[in-house]
Amino acid sequence: MRGFQALPELLRLADATTVFGVLGSSNVPWIADGVYRGTLRLIKTRHEETAVSAAAGFGRVSGRLGVCSATRGPGFANSINPLAAAIHYHLPLLLIVGESPPSTDRSWQVLEQHALTDALGAGFHHAAAADELVPRFWEAVDAVAWNGLPQVLSIGDGVLTSEVSVPDRRPPVPARAAPPADRVVAAVDALAVAERPLILAGQGALLADVRADLERLGERIGARLGTTITVNRFFSGHPAEVGLVGASAAEATKRLVRPTDVVLAVGASLNGKTLDGGTLFPDATIIQCEIDPSVERRATVEALYLVGDARATVKALIAEWEARGLPDRPAPSPAAPTFDDLADRIAETDIGHDPRRGIDLRAIYRLVSQGAPADRIVVTDAGRSRATMAALVDARDARSWLDSMGYGSIGLGLGFAVGAAAAAPDRRVILFTGDVGFMMSSHDLDAMRLNHLDQTIVIRNDEQNGAELKYLAAVDLPTDLVRQSLPDVPTLARAFGGEGVVLLRVDDLDAAWLTRPGLVILDARIDPELDWRQALLAAS
């Protein structure tokens, strides 16, 4: 077969059935071939920014490889911001592009794609000739699977029209290594003397799909179960779950986890946010399970740094615990408040909300959490008004709770939501976004129409660049500059075949909007004066 037929065939073998993309000269033949043969579904977006974010959202919700494609040059350049965001979160996705600078094609779409990708920190695999397509493809797919780092597959000039031979099955998946036995022993030594252990799951735990094993380990060692913000709701519903741990956690949660004496971090980078600038576990022993030996070490001693696959590591820890005949430890006490208990306390805390200024955002969060279907998928864009959402809006698991913030980029939430809607067409996707992030990506409201997707968007509309207010206030400048209204959102929604409504009061929120098919946009005018984070502090 020829290269443009081989690529869809390889994607089929990789169990990738959906590609998000913007068509261009360098990708339209292979995408079209896959679509016409019925092995590939193309979700068209209006901008590459959305396509890459959508692949990240799709990967998160489905647990499968997120695939996206941009054409070479400008298409690739438009992919850089969401690619950088996906790198930050280790969101497993494969971006397929045409070669640039071109080696033999005549094209003006010249860009140093390899150097740019290297500067971002993603992997880059270039199939320069037809016989390199198959090995480079699997190399890229395996690299994504290894630690979730996004990978770019570059298709050389002429490859699509050349003969390529594709074996009819995928090569064996590389074995997943457990850490050295002495490190496992050292970790269990530390856990065996722990009085108040905490298991902290990050993105790596989600990628390794190790929830059940971690819960089993937690029950053996009597640990609380917490997560970083990237995998909020990972332990949803477990009696020992303590929820979100880190700078964004509720003060009540921070109080519960501060006495922790041993932290077992699994697939979590333990950055300044998770450790709350070092204030959360100043004296605890930290055991770090990490697949990538180059990640910055946070383990208290070298012997507690366990390099290996998360699932293999957790299984080895359980096996060592059981081999020693250690008894199950009692469940942690006092019991942590349930999600709803804590959420209600946060929502009811007085932080000076004045209904005349606008809606209390917390009330919207609670109404959605209680009124939307239980199997909903919630997505949040970045921004100031996101602060309390992790504590107020529940979802059934971490694959149903998506945060697009990445490295502090706004506007990528819509793409995540497009990917979520494509991954789970029979579930309701609800995107929460600020007014600025909403407008930044509003061109791809059209992706809903083009691909017949369903989604409710709740705009946390404070009619300003809310996060920038404090920087003006800090230098005594008037804040008018950061204020601006949105356009007419209901009319905008109708232009894209959807519906929209302006919410001036909480009571205006009709639960029917949370299930109505198609695109629904709720422009919620929230109180612009409040610092919502205060609610997290005050709820203790």
Partner 1 sequence: MNGYQAIPELLRRHGSTTVFGVLGSSNVGWIGRGVADGTIRLVKTRHEETAVSAAAGYSRVSGRLGVCSATRGPGFANSLNPLASAVHYHAPLLLIVGESPASRDRTTQDIDQRTLATTLGAGFHHAADGDELESRFWDTIAAVERDGTPQVLSIGDGVLEGEVPLEPDVPREPRPRPAATPDRIEAAVEALGAAKRPLIVAGQGALLAGCRADLERLAEATGAWLGTTINVNRFFAGHPAEIGLVGQSAPEITKALLRTCDVVLGVGASLNDYTLDAGRLFGDAAIVQVEADPEHPRRATDEGLHLVGDAAATTRALLAAWTARHPDPRPAPPAPPTFAELAAAVAAADIGHDPARGVDLRALYAAMDARLPSDRIVVTDAGRTRSTMAALIDTVDAHSWLDSRGYGSVGLGLGYAIGAATAAPDRKVVLFSGDVGFMMASHDLDAIRLNDLDLTIVIRNDEQYGAERKYLAAVGLPPDLARQTLPDVPALARALGGDGVVIRDLDEVRDEHLAQRGLFILDVRLDPVTDWRPALDRARLPAGVPG
Question: Which residues, numbered 411-440, are part of the site for partner 1 (CB under 8 A)?
Answer: 411, 436, 439-440
| DSSP per-residue letters across 285-338 | EEEEEES-TTSPP--SSGGGEEES-HHHHHHHHHHHHHHTTPPPPPPPSSPPPP
With b for 16 or more beta-carbon neighbours within 10 A and e for fewer, the 260-290 pattern comes to: bebbbbbbbbbeeebbbeeebbeebbbbbbb
8 Å CB contact between 396 and 375 = yes
Helix (H, G, I), strand (E, B), or coil: what is residue 162?
Answer: coil
Spatial distance between the Cα atoms of 17 and 331, rounded to a whole number of angstroms? 43
Of 36-44, 237-245, 357-365, 367-375: span binding partner 1 (CB under 8 A): 36-44
Please select the residue that binds partner 1; options are 1, 119, 181, 374, rule is CB under 8 A: 119
Does 387 bind partner 1 (CB under 8 A)? Our answer is: no
The nearer residue to partner 1, 117 or 151, going by C-beta atoms, is 117
Of 8-16, 208-216, 484-492, 530-538: span binding partner 1 (CB under 8 A): 484-492
Please select the residue that binds partner 1; options are 13, 14, 18, 47, rule is CB under 8 A: 47
Of 81-89, 212-220, 286-294, 295-303: span binding partner 1 (CB under 8 A): 81-89
8 Å CB contact between 399 and 430 = no
Pattern 10-29, binding to partner 1, x per CB under 8 A?
A: ------------xxxx--xx
Number of H helices, E strands in the chain: 21, 18
Q: In terms of Cα–Cα distance, which of 437, 443, 444 is closest to 458?
A: 437
Task: List the interface residues with partner 1, window 291-350 (CB under 8 A).
Answer: none
Please select the residue that binds partner 1; options are 230, 441, 455, 461, rule is CB under 8 A: 441
Please select the residue that binds partner 1; options are 123, 179, 246, 406, rule is CB under 8 A: 406
Question: Least distance in Å: CB of 322 to partner 1?
Answer: 40
The nearer residue to partner 1, 304 or 445, going by C-beta atoms, is 445
The nearer residue to partner 1, 116 or 372, going by C-beta atoms, is 116
Task: List the interface residues with partner 1, window 140-179 (CB under 8 A).
Answer: 160-161
The nearer residue to partner 1, 198 or 247, going by C-beta atoms, is 247
Distances 178 to 121, 207, 258, 317, 519 between C-alpha atoms, Å: 25, 16, 30, 10, 46
Distances 232 to 20, 390, 392, 508 between C-alpha atoms, Å: 25, 7, 11, 29
Spatial distance between the Cα atoms of 124 and 327, rounded to a whole number of angstroms? 48
Does 290 bind partner 1 (CB under 8 A)? Our answer is: no
The nearer residue to partner 1, 120 or 537, going by C-beta atoms, is 120
Distances 450 to 188, 274, 465, 497 between C-alpha atoms, Å: 53, 39, 30, 10
Please select the residue that binds partner 1; options are 272, 352, 425, 517, rule is CB under 8 A: 272
The nearer residue to partner 1, 115 or 512, going by C-beta atoms, is 115
Does 77 bind partner 1 (CB under 8 A)? Our answer is: yes
Give the interface size with partner 1 as a residue count (CB under 8 A).
78
Question: Least distance in Å: CB of 106 to partner 1?
Answer: 7
Question: Least distance in Å: CB of 450 to partner 1?
Answer: 6
Does 240 bind partner 1 (CB under 8 A)? Our answer is: no
Please select the residue that binds partner 1; options are 180, 497, 518, 528, rule is CB under 8 A: 497
With b for 16 or more beta-carbon neighbours within 10 A and e for fewer, the 304-332 pattern comes to: bbbbbbbbbbbbbbbebbeeeeeeebeeb
Of 212-220, 297-305, 350-358, 408-416: span binding partner 1 (CB under 8 A): 408-416
Using the Cα atoms of residue 459, residue 465, residue 468 and residue 473 in order, give the sign of their dihedral. negative
